[in-house]
Structure 1
């Protein structure tokens, strides 16, 4: 048999989209438009039961402290609750807010001082999944075609994004992630998030669901 006929030509698996499941899509759409992240996520109506920590956060990396403050203020003005006020740390400056739909967002910068005026620009968006076993879950994703970009033992793993993917995927220990966000690690029920993939549907060891999906179009303002 000609080996060329048996070689897979499938595109590598990537995180193509992130869809948040919310009880009130119109209210969520208004919030995320005001927050300034509506082009990065999709929204879907859901009444799935969910209590406590949902096991993930979406993290924004921005240019400086003033820009962090601007995003935190925009989120609070639109109805978010502050879980951790923006403050300096060893690694930089950042804060954590929780959207009205329950999704937790972290806004941070590695800069401790501003070198230019605040902007509304986002340098990077990372979806951090809190998992029980980073090494095992990392291998699960590698077996499904994702490429590891960074890995720090059993503490953290980051996957290479696709060229058209607006969000980077990373894994972190669940308890460590909850502590970093200022919440209890306890939580049950739905994660209230669905990840779009260029491959077929599957569910990872921690219950995060993936489905075949194209990257989301920008949410109308």
Structure 2
């Protein structure tokens, strides 16, 4: 019964977070982000400003959360769920690319909003930090529990690589914003992600090989 109550509580918290982020993005698209107040977001989501502050520390965080989705959980689950025959490096790269380039990507209007506002670009890039802890758990599960420290280092490196890829992609996309309001990305996000993650392959392969040779 306690486990069930905890599960329902987490579902309610997730629903509240999603309602707040959806309201924040909708209001930002309607009014412009500078004209959106925390009180407005809370009212639109049907909660108090105090409740809002339990989930987000700024309106920018709330706005980008609507387009960032729960990528950290999806990436960790994808890495953990890849078949044993798929190497850790390959599993990780494909999980990251898939999570950042599937339907959860922001639509055109949201993308325009993010790329043309430095504060929103910064907040969007900042969401990569949420990858680290869930991913460390997934990597540790593949390497073995006694590789927890290695898993944390690798996960932190992956988060940094993703951040660098997003920074480059958003900068080039913002630079391609034309007078007609059209975003023409000058770089492929999947290619950028693969390029920034590529230097980590030797470390991931080495960690996996050590785990393979470890006495069971």
- What's the TM-score, normalizing by structure 1? 0.24
Larger Rg: 2
- TM-score, normalised by the number of residues in structure 2: 0.25
Larger helix share, 1 or 2 = 2
More strand by share: 1
